[in-house]
Amino acid sequence: MNKNQPNNQEDQEIDLTQISKKIGIFFQNINTFLFKCIQFFVKNAVVILILFVLGFGVGMFLDSTNKTYNHEIIVTPNFGSTDYLYSKIDLIESKIQEGDTIFIKEVLGIKKPKEILKIKIKPVTDVYRFIENKTENFELIKLMAEDGDIKKVLEDDLTSKNYTLHTITFKTKNQIINTETVQPILIYLNEMDYYKKVQNETVKNIRIKIIQNDTIISQINSVLNGFSNMVNGTQKSDKLVYYNENTQLNDVIKTKEALINEQGIHRVQLVGLDKIIKDNSATLNIENTNSVNGKLKFVFPILFLLLFVLIHLFSSYYKNQMRKSKMI
């Protein structure tokens, strides 16, 4: 045992020495590599500077000539027309990708059909409005969330298509004006005879309901005025009067309050029911800066430099291999 100990110590010392040598060689190689890199850039400083200037100029030119713009329209599909709206947007997108300029120009009504590049639609996730005063929607979300992630449930097509607001986004090559692009799309989306009939009947029913509610409110006001006159007459006669606690006066007042609130809701509804697909707002001409859009003036100098370095490495590799082949 004692004889083996010195041997083990010597082996450990040899191993540590080798490891330290390898570490030293590794850092020396890094130092050499860094020096060669610096030497390469110093040697080719003029070429690199020219490449940077050239890349920046090309990038600036392409950024100014290849701009694209995003546009958003927030809409409300009325009368159960959500699936109809999504199918129409999908149809427009398919025609754009097919390059069907006849459809885009004559059916959709956009005068410059090649300007539009893409269109899509997605719901505006507003779960609070979705469950507001709708107990059945709240219970539905609770039931669906029991077997899965609540976030996935809220973003699921079955749920999201029932949200009130939806965003139509489309991309064009150049800036647009509302009358030439947005309005033709909205006119196209609102041309559906079935939903027009549903719209007429729905608006008619709401207006009838408003008239009936006004009549009921007027009758309630007459009852309350009569009761008020009776109370004032009793006070003047100085007679003691007992009122039955079971009178439905409080119920009448609550009914009037509920009817007034309902009238307000109906009048607001009529404002949004003038179209099948109601446009609430439109934001146009947002310059697209996703990915490398608008950043080519920075991308091209780096790209040119990388190409120059790769060409130099390939050239060096080729020369070394040629030298070796001649030696053989």
Q: Could you give the CA distance from residue 315 to residue 307 in angstroms, rounded to a whole number?
A: 12
Residue 240: band (very low, low, confident or very high) from pLDDT cuts 50, 70, 90: very low
Q: Could you give the CA distance from residue 177 to residue 182 in angstroms, rounded to a whole number?
A: 8
Q: Is the pLDDT of residue 43 over 50?
A: yes
**pLDDT tens per residue, range 250-280:** 888 888 888 999 899 889 889 889 899 999 9
pLDDT at 212: 93
Residue 202: band (very low, low, confident or very high) from pLDDT cuts 50, 70, 90: very high
**pLDDT tens per residue, range 295-318:** 777 788 888 888 888 888 888 877
Q: Could you give the CA distance from residue 114 to residue 25 in angstroms, rounded to a whole number?
A: 62
DSSP 242-302: ---TT--HHHHHHHHHHHHHHHHHHHHHHHHTSSSEEEEEEEEEEE--STTTT-HHHHHHH
pLDDT at 32: 82
Share of the chain above pLDDT 70, in %: 76
Strands (E), the chain: 69-77, 116-123, 166-172, 277-287
Q: pTM score > 0.85 for this model?
A: no
Specify burial of residue 7 (Cβ count, 10 A radius: 0-12, 13-18, 19+). Answer: exposed
Q: Is the pLDDT of residue 51 over 90?
A: no
Start-to-end CA span in the chain (Å)? 55
Specify the higher pLDDT residue, 33 or 237. Answer: 33
Residue 184: band (very low, low, confident or very high) from pLDDT cuts 50, 70, 90: very high
Q: Could you give the CA distance from residue 162 to residue 123 in angstroms, rounded to a whole number?
A: 8
| For range 75-90, the mean pLDDT | 92
Residues linked to residue 72 through DSSP beta bridges, in sequence order: 169, 283
Question: 163 φ, ψ to 5°?
Answer: -70, 155
Q: Could you give the CA distance from residue 195 to residue 87 in angstroms, rounded to a whole number?
A: 15
Which of 213-227, 230-244, 303-317 has the least mean pLDDT? 230-244
Q: Cβ atoms within 10 A of the Cβ of 17, count?
A: 10
Which of 133-147, 161-175, 196-210 has the least mean pLDDT? 133-147
Instruction: Spell out the residues 6+ positions from residue 292 whose beta carbon is closer than 8 angstroms to its own.
Output: 299
Q: Is the pLDDT of residue 189 over 90?
A: yes
Most confident of 157-161, 167-171, 256-260: 167-171
Q: Tell me the average pLDDT of the chain.
A: 80
Q: Is the pLDDT of residue 143 over 80?
A: no
Residue 245: band (very low, low, confident or very high) from pLDDT cuts 50, 70, 90: very low
